Every structure is written in structure tokens, then in C-alpha cells.
């Protein structure tokens, strides 16, 4: 009985977090273009951002507003060759309400304006438009390519603002990635949810009662 009293609040918290989680989809390379669609989204802590690569050979790589075309040590998908018949995916979990900036690491794509933002301010001097303009002003020889292969990584050493879910949408232990990795000043303990996970949580809740 005592153990049930301890487990019940934890189960309620997990179930509440799961039900509150939203998945946002960003399409990469729509109709063969060098674009992320949409380019700018708003996401809450615990939300999942799922990148769907539909054409070309692109990446989703985290950077900073100040250096838009260079990986800052945060997430990077690696190159994801894709076609209409072979869509690739890469997902992250948002751990902060601070802006998250990103770009495609294919040569010249960032400089062509292929960038995205999560939680960018709508006004001021650090809007998505300002970020894209800064990226397009970077010299073609500047910036670094993302790794050419791999399932993607998310490093927490320098304050990553997201957690890697993995290209298959499941939690992974690859590298420094974790579904509960800490971000700068904010650590997420929210779990990526699925219908089966919600069902399991509900079953556990019923059993405890």
C-alpha cells in the first residue's frame, strides 16, 4: 500500500506529461527545394519536433543566431538522402522555451537560406527573418558540414536545447543523446509518447487504484 502511494503521483505526472505532448512536423526538401516547411514554429517544453526528409540529401543541424551555418555542438541528424518513396525522419524533444536555431549542413544550402527556427521571437532583432538573413550573408566557404552519416546526435555538454528521439522516433542512447538530456538551465524528464505508452500508463493507473 505504501509503495502504491509513492508510485501513484509519479504515474499521474507521467500520464499528464504524455497527454500534453504535441508533435510538430517540419518537412525538409519539399518539391526538391532547399527549404524547411514550416520554417518557424512555436513549441512547448516536452513537445517533439519531427523532421521528415522527402527529397534530396539534407540535414537538420543545430546552430546559433550569431553563427547560423555552423553546428554549436547540439543536435545534428547527419545527411538524410530521401525520395517520395523513401522518406527519412529525425526527431528531437524540446527542452527549453529559448529560441532554437538550425540549418541544413549540405554545402551551400545554409547560405541559400535553408534554415529553421523553433520559438524564435516575433519581434526585435532576433526574429527568424533576421536569422535567415544572417545565414545568407555567410561566405560560401564558411561553416561546417554535418557528419555524412549516422543516426544523429544531441550533445548536452554545451547546453543543448533539445534531446534526440532518433530517426525512427524512439529513444536512443547513441553518443551523448538521451530522451531526458539536460538543456541550458532546463532539464526535461518528459517522455516521448505513443499510443502503447499511454495505454500502459492507464493500465498501471487502474492497477494501483
In the chain, what are the domains?
Answer: 1-21+193-209 (no CATH), 22-190 (2.60.40.420)
| Four-point Cα dihedral 55, 77, 92, 157, nearest 10 | -160
Residue that wins the pLDDT comparison between 198 and 134? 134
Q: 139: pLDDT confidence band, cut at 50, 70 and 90?
A: confident
pLDDT tens readout for residues 154-175: 543 334 555 655 433 333 322 2
Per-chain mean pLDDT for the chain? 76
Whether residue 99 has pLDDT greater than 80: yes
Calpha distance 20→208 (Å, rounded): 22
pTM recorded for the entire structure: 0.70
SS (H, E, C) 44-74: CCCCEEEEEECCEEECCEEECCCCCCCCCCC
Whether residue 135 has pLDDT greater than 90: yes
Amino acid at each position: 500500500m505504501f509503495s502504491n502511494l509513492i508510485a501513484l503521483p509519479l504515474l499521474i505526472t507521467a500520464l499528464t506529461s504524455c497527454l500534453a505532448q504535441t508533435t510538430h512536423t517540419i518537412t525538409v526538401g519539399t518539391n526538391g527545394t532547399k527549404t524547411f516547411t514550416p520554417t518557424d514554429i512555436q513549441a512547448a517544453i516536452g513537445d517533439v519536433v519531427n523532421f521528415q526528409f522527402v527529397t534530396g540529401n539534407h540535414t537538420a543541424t543545430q546552430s546559433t543566431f550569431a553563427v547560423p551555418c555552423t553546428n554549436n555542438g547540439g543536435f545534428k541528424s547527419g545527411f538524410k538522402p530521401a525520395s517520395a518513396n523513401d522518406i527519412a525522419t529525425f526527431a528531437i524533444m524540446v527542452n527549453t522555451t529559448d529560441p532554437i536555431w538550425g540549418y541544413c549542413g549540405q554545402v551551400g544550402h545554409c547560405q541559400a537560406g535553408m534554415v529553421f527556427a523553433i520559438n524564435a521571437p516575433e519581434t526585435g532583432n532576433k526574429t527568424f527573418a533576421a536569422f535567415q538573413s544572417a545565414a545568407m550573408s555567410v561566405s560560401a566557404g564558411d561553416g561546417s558540414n554535418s557528419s555524412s552519416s549516422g543516426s544523429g546526435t544531441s550533445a548536452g555538454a554545451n547546453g543543448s536545447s533539445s534531446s534526440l528521439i532518433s530517426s525512427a522516433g524512439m529513444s536512443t542512447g547513441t553518443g551523448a543523446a538521451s530522451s531526458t538530456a539536460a538543456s541550458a538551465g532546463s532539464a526535461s524528464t518528459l517522455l516521448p509518447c505513443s499510443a502503447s505508452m499511454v495505454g500502459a500508463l492507464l493500465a498501471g493507473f487502474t492497477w494501483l487504484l
